[in-house]
Amino acid sequence: MARSALLNVMVQAAFKAGKSLARDFGEVQNLQVSLKGPGDYVSQADRKAEKLIREELMKARPTYGFLGEESEEIIGTDGAHRWIVDPLDGTTNFLHGIPFFAISIALERNGEIVAGVVLNPGTDELFTAERGGGAFLNDRRLRVAARKNLSDAVIGCGIPHLGDVNHGKFLIELRHVMGEVAGVRRLGSASLDLAYVAAGRFDGFWERDLMPWDIAASVLLIREAGGYATDLDGSNAVLASGTVVAGNEYIHKALREVVQRPVPAR
């Protein structure tokens, strides 16, 4: 596959940070048995990865803005471009030595995502997309799964953290979805979960209360793989709403309807 110069910059930044995270992940696995635990170490790994990514991207395009999870936003001087970065999506997995976490890098131009990279440093799976150019896993072209019925579908989701005000709402949604589908999976990294939709591994996905860096790159992956990724109302403004429902044409529509199903009166 041919990559643009900008996408190559994003891939290089992802791999540089990925090598750092992979080294740190090995140390985290050793820290599982210590009394102190790996918490502080993971926080340092997260910040270090973002610093590496920011330096690589800003070196290549110093006038672009930068929005990252771990640092204050940098407003670009060109007024049109912004990098959107999650240096470690799946922090809880990383913290517990579970090799399912990702680096997510997106490029926004005039409010539209035009390029995206999601890298799992644990497996070296690299998901990339450019607007109008398709989505790829390493060098293989991606298409969303073709299943049309929820009863045949495996659906991914995110679960609100302990104490989240939407926990009760999620349990209602989960009960509705579980009654309609072949299976539900919660893997713990929204960017990778959505990349799995683009790759046809998951048939669909839904989650609320996400941040732009969680989903910016992966939403483009899904759309370039022939799928749909919107908020619950069907709007494409998922970065603003923080809610995403994804799948092919049929699963996306059916999943939206099930997630929004009214709670029966008692």
Q: Residue 69 annotated as binding?
A: yes
Q: Residue 255 annotated as binding?
A: no
Helices (H), the chain: 5-31, 39-60, 91-95, 167-178, 190-198, 212-224, 238-241, 249-259
Which residues share a beta bridge with 68?
85
3-state percent helix, strand, coil for the chain, nearest multiple of 5: 40, 25, 35
Between CA 198 and CA 207 the distance in angstroms is 16
Q: Are 118 and 217 in contact (CB under 8 A)?
A: yes
Q: Are 247 and 143 in contact (CB under 8 A)?
A: no
Q: Residue 40 annotated as binding?
A: no
Q: Residue 130 annotated as binding?
A: no
Between CA 205 and CA 154 the distance in angstroms is 9
Helix orientation angle between 249-259 and 167-178, rounded to the nearest 10 degrees: 130
The binding site comprises 69, 86, 88-89, 214
The binding site for Mg(2+) comprises 69, 86, 88-89, 214
